[in-house]
Structure 1
Amino acid sequence: MLNRLISSHICKGKLEMFLQPQVNVLTGKIIGIELLVRWVNHLGKSIEPHFFLPLIRNSKYKAKFSQWVLEEAFRVSEALCIEGFNGRVACNLDASEMYSGIEFFLHKLRKEYPKAGEVEIEVTEVGHLSDRKNLEAYIECFKKHGIKVALDDFGTGLNNFDAVFNYDIDKVKTDKKFLNLNVEVREAFFSSICSITEKLGLDLVVEGIETTSELIALQELGVTTVQGFYISKPIPFKDFVSSHKNSLGIINEENIANCNS
């Protein structure tokens, strides 16, 4: 019953990607977008992923779900490129969701969405894939197809410095829990992670920004790219494009101006 329900919702479009921007606080420009999956129920309400993703990842439709996620990234990227956006479009994949036929599928997507821009995979739950060589091979496959790789939820589980030093990643995304540390510890952490990622040539995105004070404090510590409800909640594609139709690439100019004043 559960497997049939999951398969039906993937096939019939009941799952939907919402868009949340990643913004350069110095310029106010959107430089990347993360796709976040939502399950839209029969009442039209959006169900948060922590309610249903564990069910999918423990079902036989895990690979099918991964294909849908990847195709959505290419589809949205191409659609946004047509609208004038040239930043990265990122999607999340649990390391355990990667499968042997992924290279063939990526080749297929490149042909089907030739106008897609930069696509990025945010790898979550590195520790779920016990064979490091397998994950290395998948990352190599992504790179071969021009896809960037980010380490998501840095600081949780095995998504730590061991992963940063041992995998060929392009970006680190810090877990929002670090914003809740006391001031001294938070300053030490973000100063350090800014320095380390800069020296390693990695991009850094701080997730979970919810207040002006957090934004100002992070900018003073050297953080330049942020994501969170303070900038924008995840919203459906049509709402995202509609909200920024005339200035796709600029968001919340007033908030950024306040931060820089």
Structure 2
Amino acid sequence: MDRHSYMSFYNIFDKNLLEKERTRSFVLLNIGDALKNHEIEVYYQPQVDARTGKLCGAEGLARWNSPKAGLMMPGKFIPVLEAANLTYKLDICIIRQIARDFRKCIEEGTPIVPVSFNFSRTDFETCNPYEELQKAVKEYNLEPKMFRVEITESTLMSDPAKIKEQMTLFRKAGYEVLMDDFGSAYSSLATLRDFDFDEIKIDMGFMRNFSDKSKKIIRPMIMLAQSLDVHTLTEGVETAEQLSFLQQAGCERIQGYYFSKPIPYSEFVQKLKTMDCCDDLKDCEK
């Protein structure tokens, strides 16, 4: 046989690939126990009214406090869950934990502000996000306006018809729907045209690479949102310069390390007690 007819394959050892595989295996083997043993915790990142400085909301973000691996950030375990179509388990856990925290605040007389959270693309393939949120709201006797649903453009594009239907259900029931990472994709303007949002979250990449060019892009974004009666929030704000620009440009809400990093529930409660809060949810505190 001709020696050239044989095909040869080889792989080069890569520490990063090995570490990724270890992480993947750990996440898939341990996520069930983590959810059952309450190792998944919601950290809250405050959102502030750019005009008044009052606390006006928060974003609920997942953290995995693993006895075996320590504190794991979402960038480490969420991609693994997405690849395995398991994010619905995590996101249902997050919704229910936020609902429990709301109920605890109400019972203790702590002021409350709306909390947003993100549904992953695979959630819409493996469960009914609207029904899951409704279950938690009814079980804990809460109001829909306490929750704000974030959806990224890439999620929208995975199944536009189905997700548009879900968005309509959310908004009819009284939940605000936010477009997350606005400006990070190529067709954001078309998405804003084709879907109805209550708010856009301007992608934190504009703050990470903050420049005169960024300012010239962000200002028209805010003006466009205002013309459509859509609220604006900018993520990733870290400096007084960024805050000052956004205030002058008319951005309504601010989120970022300039005000606070994501913090555990106990620390967030202290902010709720000590900061001036917007009273949009005054009627919910019963």
TM-score range, shorter chain: 0.7 to 0.9
With over 3 angstroms needed to count, the CA separation of the structure-2 counterparts of 1:146 and 1:159, relative to structure 1, is farther
Match of 1:151 in 2: 179
Runs of 5+ consecutive residues of structure 2 not aligned to the other structure: 1-24, 279-286
Structure 1 residues 209-254: Cα deviation after superposition (integer angstroms, max 9, x where no partner):
111111112212222311000100110001111344244528xxxx
Q: Match for residue 38 of structure 1?
A: 63
Specify the alignment match of 2:7 in structure 1: none
State how far apart, in whole Å, the 1-side matches of 2:156 and 2:248 are.
36
Q: How does 1:173-188 map to 2 (within 5 A)?
A: 173-181=201-209, 183-188=211-216
Alignment of 1:12-31 (within 5 A): 12-31=37-56
- Pair 1:44–1:31, CA change in 2 (3 A): farther
Of 122-131 and 237-246, deviating more is: 122-131
CA distance in 2, matches of 1:29, 1:204: 16
Q: Which has the larger radius of gyration?
A: 2
Q: Distance in 2 between matches of 1:184 and 1:58?
A: 38
Q: Secondary structure at the match of 1:245?
A: helix
* Cα 1:10/1:129, change in 2 over 3 Å: farther
* Inter-partner Cα distance in structure 2 for 1:165 and 1:79: 39
Residues 206 and 223, structure 1, Cα contact 8 Å, conserved in 2: yes
Partner of 1:54: 79
Instruction: Report the CA distance shift for 1:100/1:159 in structure 2 as closer, same or farther (over 3 A).
Output: farther
Whole-angstrom distance in 2 between the partners of 1:215 and 1:155: 19
Give me the TM-score of the superposition, normalised by structure 1. Answer: 0.85
1:150-169 equivalences under 5 Å are 150-157=178-185, 160-169=188-197
| TM-score, structure 2 normalization | 0.79
Give % identity: 26
CA offsets 1:109-129 (integer angstroms, 9 cap, x no match): 222111355201111253575
Q: Work out whether residues 125 and 158 of structure 1, in 8 Å CA contact, stay in contact via their aligned partners in 2.
A: no
- Residue in 1 that maps onto 2:166: 138
What residue is the counterpart of 2:117 in the other structure? 91
Name the count of aligned residue pairs. 250
Q: Which amino acid aligns with 1:29?
A: K
Q: Distance in 1 between matches of 2:277 and 2:70?
A: 28
